[in-house]
């Protein structure tokens, strides 16, 4: 049996949320359709957050209406609270994602409550989701370090991941939000979390701020993870380091896993085409090295 991994494309949400220029809704729709055309089966489409917080996501309902259904493709959407959950349901979403931080400082600064309070706020979402047969994915941010509190103890990440898992998340996505992890710190974190949540329910969500995204994904795969989040073209950036890289690029992960003999179900040339097309819409080249190298090779 050929081993396989599941890639969750987060470019339209996590990537775009960190891009300064507002992208038109029909361009987002085209991006999502091209991603689906390249074989991505899990595409986080948008966030039902307040436009005051994230203007880029203000068109969430309109975008969901434009995307429509694509057979076999999930479009999870981020929801910060029950109001967002209700709006997501009204838009036809069938999967939502909730988020908590492994850092108290980050939780306080970002959502103005403790980690425990932030998870309590999701209880109505979990109840409603269960009743409506909607899947809930959980993000944990700052799994290696926090821009305010510094290094985060692996046991703390395990606690938060465990709480979200117990509450009903089918998968916990472990986010190195500021991209400072290396294979050593990521593995220490995974060892702790795997004692609390089965490894097959964990996803690696690594940012490439310090160029470690691919190496951290590799180390995590060796550890046993088979789900990874990434952004086409390496979309996005880091709000804590202006000019730095964002999510690890989907192309780079696909190239890695193809090299490891691991099936992703993704058509790399089509994905690279999509990366170049969308980067051009943003008026620049893709951040992904694979996209740059493959474009160079296909030049006449």
Site for a second copy, rule CB under 8 A: 179, 181-185, 208-212, 214-215, 218-219, 238, 240-245, 249, 252, 255-256, 258-261, 288-290, 292-293, 295-297, 299
Between 158 and 238, whose beta carbon lies closer to a second copy? 238
- Among residues 142, 146, 169, 238, the one annotated as catalytic is 238
If the CB atoms of residues 94 and 187 are measured against a second copy, the closer one turns out to be: 187
DSSP letter for 56, please.
Answer: G
Alpha-carbon span 254 to 265, nearest angstrom = 9
> 103, 142 in Cβ contact below 8 A?
yes
Asked whether 92 and 62 are in contact (CB, 8 A), the reply is: no
Give me the least distance between CB of 234 and a second copy, in Å please: 9
Q: How far is the CB of 295 from a second copy (least distance, A)?
A: 7
Nearer to a second copy, 138 or 181 (CB): 181
- How far is it, in rounded angstroms, from Cα 64 to Cα 80? 17
In the complex, least distance from residue 235 CB atom to a second copy, rounded to whole angstroms? 15
The 171-176 sheet, strands edge to edge: 42-43, 6-9, 227-230, 202-206, 171-176, 135-141, 95-101, 77-78, 46-47
Active site annotation includes 238: yes
Nearer to a second copy, 70 or 241 (CB): 241
Pick between residue 72 and residue 259 the one whose CB is nearest to a second copy: 259
Helix residue spans in the chain (DSSP H): 16-17, 25-37, 60-67, 82-90, 104-111, 115-120, 123-131, 154-167, 183-194, 213-223, 250-259, 268-281, 289-298
Q: What are the beta bridge partners of residue 204?
A: 174, 228
Contact 23, 60 (CB under 8 A): no
Query: d(Cα 216, Cα 210) in Å, to the nearest integer?
Result: 11
Rounded-to-integer distance, Cα 137 and Cα 170, Å: 6
- Residue 200 CB, shortest distance to a second copy, in Å, is 22
Token pair for 156? 């703390």
Q: Which is nearer to a second copy, 30 or 295 (CB)?
A: 295
- Least separation in angstroms between residue 298's CB and a second copy is 10
The distance of closest approach from Cβ of residue 260 to a second copy in the complex, given in angstroms and rounded to an integer, is 5
The CA distance from 249 to 220, in Å, is: 16
User: 188 is written with which tokens?
Assistant: 């220490």
Distance between CA atoms of residues 214 and 68, nearest Å? 32
Determine how many CB atoms are found less than 10 A away from the CB of residue 128. Answer: 16
Active-site annotation, residues: 238
């Amino acid at each position: 049996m050929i081993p396989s991994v599941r890639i969750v494309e987060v470019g339209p949400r996590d990537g775009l949320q960190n891009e300064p220029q507002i992208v038109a809704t029909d361009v987002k729709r085209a991006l999502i359709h091209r991603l689906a055309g390249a074989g991505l089966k899990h595409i986080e489409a948008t966030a039902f957050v307040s436009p005051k917080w994230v203007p880029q996501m203000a068109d969430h309902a309109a975008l969901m209406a434009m995307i429509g259904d694509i057979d076999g493709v999930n479009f999870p959407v981020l929801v910060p609270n029950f109001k967002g959950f209700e709006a997501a349901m009204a838009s036809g979403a069938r999967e939502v994602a909730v988020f908590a931080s492994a850092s108290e400082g980050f939780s306080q600064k970002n959502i103005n409550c403790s980690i425990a309070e932030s998870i309590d706020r999701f209880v109505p979402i979990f109840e409603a989701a269960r009743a409506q047969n909607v899947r809930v994915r959980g993000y944990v941010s700052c799994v290696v370090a926090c821009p305010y509190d510094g290094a985060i103890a692996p046991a703390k990440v395990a606690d938060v991941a465990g709480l979200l898992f117990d509450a009903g998340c089918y998968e916990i996505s472990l986010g190195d939000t500021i991209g400072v992890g290396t294979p050593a710190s990521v593995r220490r974190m995974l060892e702790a979390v795997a004692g609390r949540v089965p490894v097959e329910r964990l996803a690696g969500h690594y940012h490439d701020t310090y160029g470690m995204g691919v190496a951290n994904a590799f180390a995590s795969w060796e550890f046993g993870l088979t789900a990874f989040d990434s952004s086409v073209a390496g979309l996005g950036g880091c709000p804590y380091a202006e000019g730095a890289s964002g999510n690890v690029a989907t192309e780079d992960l696909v190239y890695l896993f193809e090299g490891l003999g691991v099936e992703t179900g993704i058509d790399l040339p089509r994905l690279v085409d999509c990366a170049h097309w969308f980067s051009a819409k943003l008026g620049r080249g893709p951040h992904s090295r694979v996209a740059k190298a493959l474009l160079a090779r296909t030049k006449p």
